[in-house]
Amino acid sequence: METQSYEIYYGNGLKEGVDEAAAIIALAEAGTMPEEKAKAIICSTGRVIKSNLSKPQAEHYFKMLDGVGLQVEIRLLEPDVAEGLHEAAGVTDAQVTQPPSLPAETQAAPSAPSGEEGVRDIPVEFHGKGFEYFKIWIVNILLTILTLGIYSAWAKVRNSQYFYGNTLIDGSSFQYTAKPIQILKGRIIAIVIFLAYIGISEISPILALVLALIFLIFLPWIVIRSLAFNARNSMYRNIRFRFTGGVGDAVIAFVVLPILTIFTFGLLIPYVWYKQTAFIVGNHAFGTTAFEFNASPMAYYKVFLILFLAIIVTAVVMTGLMIGMGSNGVSKENLGLILMPFLFVAYLGVFAYLAASLGNLYFNCTGLAGNRFTSTLQARGLTWLYVTNTLGIVLSLGLLIPWAKVRTAAYRAECLTLHVKTSLDSFIAGEEKSVSALGEEIGEVFDVDVVAI
């Protein structure tokens, strides 16, 4: 069956009465791109913005661009022209249904075929740049200081939008839609409560203990509110994520089980990890489709056991080195200086193993309507990343923090792949209809990020 392809043609600029500056901002937000790219698109008239699109993709882009104020039209490509474009791009008809992102520079490479029949492998991409993020980071810090912390809510939104907008799956980036004022309200509430607690603890330690117990009681609700807030304000291809966890399950995962670990000498810690992750993943949904989490507690106990053995081996090796060098006349002062780099690398190595193992478990055991992830984080790679990031931050007096964050995000994305069983386009289209029919009211009276401090 012959596949029809479409293109989006941008003809005579903006519609009458549309302000260019406002259109640039609107396009940057809609396409999750820097304003410079949005300006370049708006200023380049009389050209094709996107081609090789399926009809739903073309309609999606037309609706977005037309809503921004661009005079665009959908054009049907002639079969021979479309075929030539497909061959020139080196893709098949099946791959043409892969929706590209708006800026041509961010268009994803054709996904690789999977070893499983009918499964398409889509690598997760991160396009952030260290210096690009540095400019956002340094402005955030300066304005936060000048406003005595008030701007920190806007800083969080700008940071989140940058990392969301530069993380792509199948050519489309994520969107973060939270409003700074919502986060600011949550921070004001948190600061007032904290200051009240400090003041009361100076007057009456007993009353302070009572307040701490009250906070513990409200902790599950705080966790749920935070997860729900971040889910509602996270989008992919204009479909929001949701979180539907209940307070009862949160009480068990975040209060009861952690308290019980005290009486089990820490042996319950892996089970707590498992229950908390299962609660978080299992209660998230993409539109109307719930995520699945199929890990077992034993997988977490295996990670815990290897971590425990690694700590023991590290302690034994370090003790042996100390005894050996001490017997050769090395003073305690010099001994500390010599072993400090080894202790530093060993500590980061143990932490890297934990981060890689738990990260792989998190994604490898997460599924969505038959689609699944593969995470290949390695302790060795993370150790090198942590060591070089830490040295760079220390030697630059903190100026390389943006570089470290971008490197970490890029490495994590590089190790993550989505395996799609069915067409992602059809799944997205189905979700759009389901979400529209659901008519969920996402605006709530107490819509704040209650744990953002």
Residue 59 contacts residue 93 (beta carbons within 8 Å): no
Long-range contacts of 57-61 (CB under 8 A, 24+ apart): 57/6, 57/97, 57/99, 57/100, 57/425, 58/6, 58/7, 58/8, 60/99, 60/237, 60/238, 61/8, 61/102
pLDDT (tens digit per residue) in 93-114 = 333 333 444 544 334 444 455 5
Residue 415 pLDDT grade (very low, low, confident, very high; cuts 50, 70, 90): very high
CA–CA distance, 245 with 307 (Å, rounded to integer): 30
pLDDT attached to residue 357: 94
Residue 443 pLDDT grade (very low, low, confident, very high; cuts 50, 70, 90): very low
The closest of 403, 321, 305, 289 to 354, measured between CA atoms, is 305
Residue 126 pLDDT grade (very low, low, confident, very high; cuts 50, 70, 90): very high
Higher pLDDT, 415 or 220: 415
pLDDT attached to residue 445: 33
pLDDT (tens digit per residue) in 343-388 = 888 888 888 999 999 999 999 999 988 889 999 999 999 999 999 9
CA–CA distance, 121 with 170 (Å, rounded to integer): 10
Domain ranges across the chain: 6-104, 130-438
pLDDT attached to residue 311: 87
Residue 430 pLDDT grade (very low, low, confident, very high; cuts 50, 70, 90): low
pLDDT (tens digit per residue) in 300-344 = 999 999 988 988 888 888 787 777 776 676 666 677 677 778 888
pLDDT (tens digit per residue) in 17-27 = 888 888 888 88
pLDDT attached to residue 116: 57
Higher pLDDT, 177 or 5: 177
Is it the case that residue 30 has pLDDT exceeding 70? yes
Residue 145 pLDDT grade (very low, low, confident, very high; cuts 50, 70, 90): very high
- Over residues 389-406, the mean pLDDT reads 95
CA–CA distance, 420 with 192 (Å, rounded to integer): 47
Residue 3 pLDDT grade (very low, low, confident, very high; cuts 50, 70, 90): low
Give burial (CB, 10 Å; 0-12/13-18/19+) of 300.
buried
Residue 407 contacts residue 130 (beta carbons within 8 Å): yes
pLDDT (tens digit per residue) in 261-292 = 999 988 999 999 999 999 999 999 988 888 99
Residue 161 pLDDT grade (very low, low, confident, very high; cuts 50, 70, 90): very high
Residue 178 contacts residue 155 (beta carbons within 8 Å): no
What's the mean pLDDT when you consider all of the chain? 80
pLDDT (tens digit per residue) in 53-79 = 777 778 888 888 888 888 888 888 655
pLDDT attached to residue 206: 84
Give burial (CB, 10 Å; 0-12/13-18/19+) of 127.
middle
pLDDT (tens digit per residue) in 208-248 = 888 888 888 888 888 888 888 889 889 888 888 999 888 89
The closest of 412, 413, 430, 411 to 368, measured between CA atoms, is 430
CATH class of 6-104: alpha beta
| This model's pTM is above 0.75 | no
